[in-house]
Amino acid sequence: MRLRVLLIIMCLVISMIPVAIIGGFQGFEIATAFLGLIIVVTFFVSLFVSYFITRPLEILAENIDEISKGDLGVELGKGEIFEINKLTDSLNRVMASLKLAIHKVGVKRGEIFEETVKAKEMAEEKYETLLKNIDEWIWEIDEKGVCKSCSANIVDTLGYKPNEIIEKNIFKFLAPEESKKVKNIFNETVRKKQHKASKFEAQLVHKDGHNVCVLASFESVFDDSGNFRGFKGIGKNITESKIAEEKIEDLNEKLADMKERIRIILSGQEFKDKPSSEKTIDKLIAHEFDAVFIFDENANVIGCNQNMYGKLGYEKEEMLSLNLTDFDYLETNGDIKNKINEIKKCGKINFKTIHKKKNGSSIFVNETIQYLKDKNMFKCVVREDPLV
């Protein structure tokens, strides 16, 4: 409350005292007759007195404000009130000491204040530049969830400008199904009086109506008395990364399902062993159209035709240095060892798998593997799967 208003109110209250005294001696009817006159007179008297007291203080405050801006030439004039004059004298002595100190140091008048202002402006400029160059947006809310500050970056995430967010309850910007979850997180943080940062993901509603997935890192704000005052934190748009994660997870599930279905379908297939008349590895891999390679019982490639190493993008010497696990996406060392044992029992098996090319891309293939018992080798004929 301003001092002038306070003085007027005090005078009006005091004016009620004579009214009460008159009412006590002469009756309240007579006192009421004088009430209006007393209030009017008291009001104008109090207005004059309050102006007489407060005006010198206002002038002094204006002068001090000018000094704080670097104007050391301000003259602090005196008034009619003794106490204010004493304060003015004290400030004049401080001003004289400050001017003397500046003169001895050799600093030009105003440089101290100018450097302080420049440093403050530079710090604020760097802070604003930092906020503009990061993907995250900074926010602060009070204990009721009302936003008190918000950086400009929020427009890139939600489409709202800061002035459209500030003084609004943040739960209005959450997807309906998310409000309860976020409130529970906030309430639990307050209940435990956690001071360390916490994180949560939530769906917020963009200005145009679509949902945006946001990762929020926040911490509680407490005053000096330990009273909870709200939260401050950083928000980041992770919608694209969440979509990518979901796609990868979906592909992994499909791949695992495909692998399982292939094993179930082909686990019962058996082929009779047919004697081979090939005498050398070159003859074993000779094939007009298909890709063929030979491997030993340790799954190391020991021979291949041009269709095989050309299809995967290798040179022949590179292909001969590989193991099946180097270019088979689906099979692990344990899987291949089990297949080799199965081929030795059955003589021949057929199954689907995925081959990895040298450049990292992949192709779906059918493999027919035959056990060459007399040579203790395995011949694999590879055909691209036309159904994929």
Closest C-alpha among 117, 96, 98, 118 to residue 107: 98
C-alpha span between 346 and 276 (Å, rounded): 15
- C-alpha count within 13 angstroms, C-beta hemisphere, residue 30: 9
Give residue 272's pLDDT band: very low, low, confident or very high (50, 70, 90): very low
Contact at 8 Å (CB) between 231 and 186?
Answer: yes
C-alpha span between 109 and 238 (Å, rounded): 53
Which residues are 199's β-sheet partners?
217
Cα separations (Å) of 362 from 163, 301, 372?
51, 19, 28
Mean pLDDT of the chain: 77
Mean pLDDT of the 43-51 span:
71
pLDDT at 22 over 80: no
Q: One-letter amino acid identity for 161?
A: K
pLDDT at 269 over 50: no
Q: Per mean pLDDT, which of 2-6, 82-86, 172-176, 295-299 is the most reliable? A: 295-299
Amino acid 370: pLDDT = 92
C-alpha span between 102 and 109 (Å, rounded): 7
pLDDT at 31 over 60: no
Pull the structure tokens for residue 151. 């950086």
Give residue 279's pLDDT band: very low, low, confident or very high (50, 70, 90): very low
Pull the structure tokens for residue 73. 């030439």
pLDDT at 46 over 90: no
3-26 vs 28-68: helix axis angle to the nearest 10? 170
28-68 vs 82-105: helix axis angle to the nearest 10? 10
Domain locations in the chain? 3-105, 135-237, 268-384
Give residue 379's pLDDT band: very low, low, confident or very high (50, 70, 90): very high
Which residues are 303's β-sheet partners?
294
Domain 135-237 = CATH 3.40.640.10: no
Pull the structure tokens for residue 74. 């301000």
**CA 228 centroid distance within chain:** 23
Cα separations (Å) of 85 from 63, 80, 146, 284, 356?
14, 8, 46, 115, 92
Closest C-alpha among 201, 211, 205 to residue 172: 205
Give residue 27's pLDDT band: very low, low, confident or very high (50, 70, 90): low
Show Cβ contacts of residue 268 under 8 Å, excluding neighbours closer than 6 positions.
none
DSSP 83: H
DSSP letters of 304-359? E-HHHHHHHT--HHHHTT-BHHHHBSS--HHHHHHHHHHHHHHSEEEEEEEEEPTT
Amino acid 378: pLDDT = 94
Give residue 268's pLDDT band: very low, low, confident or very high (50, 70, 90): very low
Helix (H) or strand (E) segment spanning residue 261: helix 239-266
- 137-141 and 228-237 as β-strands: parallel, antiparallel, unpaired? antiparallel
Amino acid 116: pLDDT = 55
Mean pLDDT of the 196-207 span:
86
The three-class DSSP label of residue 61 is helix
Closest C-alpha among 379, 384, 383 to residue 301: 379
C-alpha span between 129 and 80 (Å, rounded): 52
Phi and psi at residue 141, in whole multiples of 5°? -125, 155
Domain 268-384 = CATH 3.40.50.10680: no
142-175: b or e for each residue (b if 16 or more CB lie within 10 Å)? Answer: eeebebeebbebbbebbebebebbeebebbebbe
Topology match between the domains 135-237 and 268-384: yes
Over residues 340-372, the pLDDT tens digits come to 999 999 899 998 899 999 998 888 899 999 999
